[in-house]
Amino acid sequence: MAGKLGGKVSKSSFREFGYQEVNLVQDCPLLKNLETNKSAIKTWTSHGDRVESIPENFSIFASSSNAPIAGMMDLEKKYFGLQFHPEVTHTEFGKEIIENFVNDICRCPKIWLAENIIKDHIEKIKRTVGSEKVLLGLSGGVDSSVVAVLLNEAIGDQLTCVFVDNGLLRLNEGDAVVDMFNKNLGVKVIRVDAQDKFFTALSGVDDPEQKRKIIGKTFIDVFNREASKIKNVHWLAQGTIYPDVIESADSSTGKAHVIKSHHNVGGLPKDMKLKLIEPLRNLFKDEVRKIGIELGLNQKIVNRHPFPGPGLGVRILGEVHKEYADILRKADAVFIEELERQGLYDQVSQAFAVFLPVRSVGVMGDGRSYDYVIALRAVETVDFMTAKWSKLPFEFLDYVSTRIMNEVSGVSRVTYDISSKPPSTIEWE
Ligand code: XMP
């Protein structure tokens, strides 16, 4: 803006990347009601150029040590320019600055609210589906649960949810999900026990991407089989959300590398007989959560950590066996139970146990044990694209480790993962 309107922009020998304190030197409508009595805010920056002089009729309202013109405005024309990034979570009051711009200055009303999103989506679902029947793969995670209540609200009886027990679920998960949706929410749910089918299909396979594809394909096969039992089903609903779409963008869009193929996006066979409906495809997780609450789902479901579609299949390193899954789900349940009991569950974004098929020596009572290793993983993140490992208290980790050793046979060692993303990913596979 400075360059186009007659000011001057040049390369700066002092580049600003990351944290920068910016002084607020004049009142500005962008800075209205910031609820700060400080004259400086902490911002996030990323630039190697700087504005040397402002265009005519502009004035400066913010400045930092290396960018004396960090905020400029032409009040009459309502032009505003910032040299820092208000959209980044680390910028103090960034959200308020954007709100001031969008709501006050541009006069856009606040209509992107849960109730409106729901209304829009319900109308769209009705229009798309008409009187046809829909099958939904209900996993019990936030995303598919929200799709279930949303579809139930939109088309009621036309919806049948299918809950596939693939043998890779968390402890007692199947019963809990079916009970909640059938009994509490009045949603039609069919439970399919396909454990053997999944374990057989995964037998002898140790490559993570291949495992994902097999789990995805088996899941779709089971669905097709269920679909063929119910007359006139035309649609398969899925809980795909926007970050899944971004992370799975392939080279055909040129937008991102395939980091991991998420089975609810990739892997759908071309000859699939059902049309696909993904009502949450354009929404971020926080929006999905707000919708869930508005639709009456309980907080525990809505605020649950994400669980990957391939489930414990990508938390058992290498080849998957039922015996490994049984050990892992018990260890995982102890970890999650303690996080909840000690008030730490909501402080971490995702926590789980991982099964390492290596054996290590231990002593148990008078004997020598030679059993498997469990790694605990807990991360803090906003968008799951980057994440920091959680600095959980040592006493807590100590307690969880002791409980796992005492209560889960087959484990002789518990470790804690202290890697962040990047360079590691959140899941181990
Ligand atoms: P990563 O391991 O890629 O995980 O850092 C980022 C987030 O995505 C979840 N995840 C998956 N979810 N299918 C899913 O539905 C998958 O194949 C998959 N792989 C990773 C992971 O749990 C984390 O929340």
How remote is the CA of residue 308 from the centroid of ligand 1, in Å? 5
Rounded to an integer, what distance in angstroms lies between the CA atom of residue 236 and that of residue 136? 6
Tell the residue number behind the tokens 């398969």, with chain if given.
236
Residue with CA closest to ligand 1 atom 24: 306
In testing the pocket of ligand 1, which one of 261, 262, 315, 316 has its CB within 8 Å of the most ligand atoms? 262
Q: What is the DSSP letter of 194?
A: -
Residue with CA closest to ligand 1 atom 12: 308
Q: In ligand 1, which atom is closest to the CA atom of 428? A: 2
Query: Considering the entire predicted model, what is its pTM?
Result: 0.73
How remote is the CA of residue 250 from the centroid of ligand 1, in Å? 16
Which residues lie with the beta carbon below 6 Å from any ligand 1 atom?
Answer: 212, 259-260, 262-264, 306, 308-310, 314, 350, 384, 421, 425-427
Rounded to an integer, what distance in angstroms lies between the CA atom of residue 395 and that of residue 401? 10
Say which residues have a Cβ less than 8 Å from residue 288's Cβ, sequence separation at least 6. 142, 143, 146, 241, 280
Judge whether 71 and 4 are in contact, CB under 8 Å.
no
The DSSP code sequence of 237-264 is: E----HHHHHHT--TTTTS---SS--TT
Q: What is the DSSP letter of 3?
A: T
Residue with CA closest to ligand 1 atom 8: 308
CA distances to 138, 152, 222, 235, 326 from 228, in Å: 18, 21, 10, 12, 32
Residue with CA closest to ligand 1 atom 16: 262
Q: Give me Rg for the CA atoms of the chain.
A: 26
In testing the pocket of ligand 1, which one of 427, 428, 429 has its CB within 8 Å of the most ligand atoms? 427
Each residue's pLDDT, cut to its tens digit, for the chain (429 residues) gives 999 999 999 998 877 777 889 999 999 999 998 877 779 999 988 888 899 999 999 999 999 988 999 999 999 999 999 999 998 777 899 999 999 999 999 999 999 899 999 999 999 999 999 999 999 988 888 899 999 999 999 999 999 999 999 999 999 999 988 988 988 888 999 999 999 999 999 999 999 999 999 999 999 899 788 877 888 889 989 899 987 887 666 534 544 444 444 444 444 445 557 799 999 999 988 899 999 999 989 888 888 898 998 999 999 999 999 999 999 999 999 999 999 999 999 999 999 999 999 999 988 888 899 999 999 999 998 778 888 899 999 999 999 999 999 999 999 999 999 999 889 999 999
Give one word for 146, left, alpha or beta, with left for phi > 0 and alpha for psi -120 to 50: alpha
